[in-house]
């Protein structure tokens, strides 16, 4: 079952793809900008604030 936020994120990323934004880095920059505008910090800043570990390649392959 997809969550409300999951559906909205899918809609947003689909729209970005229509605008020819396809590179992972581009998605990361846009996501960081939305996070900064909404919550006052980027995902990286939030991870530092919460003292969360950065994802390793091994961790990302589990997703």
Long-range contacts formed by 15-23: CB under 8 A, 24+ apart: none
Q: Report the number of distinct structural domains present in the chain.
A: 1
Question: Looking at the domain assignment, is residue 7 inside a domain?
Answer: no
Question: Looking at the domain assignment, is residue 28 inside a domain?
Answer: yes
Evaluate if pTM is beyond 0.75. no
pLDDT values of the chain reduced to their tens digit, one per residue, 63 residues: 568 777 887 888 888 888 888 788 888 888 888 889 988 999 889 888 888 776 665 555 555
SS (H, E, C) the chain: CCCHHHHHHHHHHHHHHHCCCCCHHHHHHHHHHHHHHHHCCCHHHHHHHHCCCCCCHHHHHCC
Question: Looking at the domain assignment, is residue 54 inside a domain?
Answer: yes
What pLDDT is stored for residue 56 in this prediction? Answer: 61
Q: Which domain holds residue 29?
A: 23-63
């Amino acid at each position: 079952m997809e969550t409300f936020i999951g559906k909205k994120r899918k809609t947003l990323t689909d729209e970005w793809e229509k605008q020819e934004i396809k590179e992972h880095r581009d998605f990361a920059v846009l996501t960081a900008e939305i996070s900064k505008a909404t919550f006052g910090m980027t995902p990286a800043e939030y991870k530092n604030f919460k003292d969360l570990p950065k994802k390793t390649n091994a961790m990302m392959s589990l997703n």
